[in-house]
Amino acid sequence: MKKKNFKDFKFVSGGVCASKGFLANGIHCGLKLDSNPDKNDLAMIYAEKKCNASAMYTTNKVQGAPITVTKKNLQDGTAQAVIVNSVNANTCNADGIEKAERMCQATAKALGLQPEDIIVASTGVIGQPLPIEPIITGIPELAKGLNSKGNTSAVNAIMTTDTKPKEVAVKFMLNDKTCTLGGMLKGSGMIHPNMATTLTFLTTDCNISSEMLQNALHEVVAVTLNRVSVDGDMSTNDMVCILANGEAENNLIQAVSPEYEIFKDALYAVLMNLARMMARDGEGATKLIECLCDGAKDDKTAEIVAKSVIMSSLFKAAIFGEDANWGRILCAIGYAPAEFDIQQVAVNLSSAKGCIAVCRNGAGVEFSEEQAKKILSEEEILVSITVGTGVGSAVAWGCDLTYDYVRINGDYRS
């Protein structure tokens, strides 16, 4: 799946509330005794009618209890609400599944639904018992405050070490019907493929089957969320889920078709931009790194090379120091587990301040250190790599490695 031209999509505000028929809310229920009362810690998303639904989950062998419960609830391919807390991940706890089920039961009671209609998620500290009482007490208030502009309070509730809310929504046409797809994401640390290195919640009023939602999610996550790495650590609670209520009244998408391809491109527009936001907001980060690899024999080879570069701790540290130490790029390319001719490798570094060539034919070329410093002083850095004359290409996203990353993770529990 190549990088898309988004001219046919209109980016709009609203996040998970941008699509017709979806409400949200977020509150501070007090999961941490000394927490800031202005920081929400419990969120809800509600669809006014039952939705086709699909999800993907972390591949970590240690998985949070909410994932186990959500997998069970989504077996029929439908859902109508999401309940999610931050502060505590509800992972590696003997009573974790019982508490995740209680969250579903309380949400269902407040909304007049069945517990199996609920997607449940948690994020935060691993291995600490989840205080369930504040959640159960807070859910009726949370449900009562659901509204069509509640995306702002909801996205605030899922943030942990995130410094910025992450929301994207687009409008697009399917035949003569206007459809909308929007979402919110939390993710700053423990960001590493595969799947999905984050909590991501997506809503759409497009009329599409759960089977095709699943197909689209797998295809698009592979080239967006799974192309991001901040620190090489994969979370235990990663989840991306999507709800589709059909309110746009387009003809049901239930097979691969031109309409399905348009929907998939809209999903890419949302998830690619959320992925970039996540990389830019990596814990302690000051810069977004985008690595584009082309000329490979196939897209998979290009992906492996691009990921290898954005995951290099030495290169990430060099970008923080605004040092054009291109040898670290070549080193990361060289240990990537892929086949290509290193003698054909070329590398450019660029930003809004310009572009410089640092490597040709696998060897260094002369460049101005002063110009390089100026280029690397920008907040967004593009590393362009060519590894041959093939048709394969891929893009991956990461961030620099700073002193603050260690500071944040040195006292995360306190």
Kindly list the catalytic residues.
Answer: 197
Cα 178 from Cα 80, distance rounded (Å) = 22
> What amino acid is encoded at 30 in this protein?
G
**Residue 406 burial (10 A CB sphere; 0-12, 13-18, 19+):** exposed
Alpha helices in 180-257 (DSSP H): 210-222
Q: Give backbone dihedrals phi and psi of 69, rounded to 5 degrees, phi first.
A: -70, -40
3-state per-residue secondary structure call for 70-113? HHHHCCCCEEEEEEEECCECCCCCCCHHHHHHHHHHHHHHHHCC
How many angstroms separate the Cα of 45 from the Cα of each of 85, 286, 299, 301, 371? 12, 32, 36, 39, 48
Give the SS3 label for residue 336: coil
Euclidean distance between CA atoms 315 and 306, whole angstroms: 12
- Residue located via tokens 């990596």: 282
Q: 250 with 174: CB under 8 angstroms? A: yes
80 and 46 Cβ atoms separated by less than 8 Å: yes
3-state secondary structure at position 139: helix
- Rounded to 5°, the CA angle 237-267-242 comes to 45
Rounded CA-CA distance 42/39 in Å is 10
Interatomic CA distance for residues 52 and 411, integer angstroms: 41
∠ CA 301-306-312, nearest 5°, is 125
CB-side exposure of 157: number of CA atoms within 13 Å? Answer: 29
- Could you give the CA distance from residue 410 to residue 414 in angstroms, rounded to a whole number? 9
Give the tokens for residue 157: 């509730």
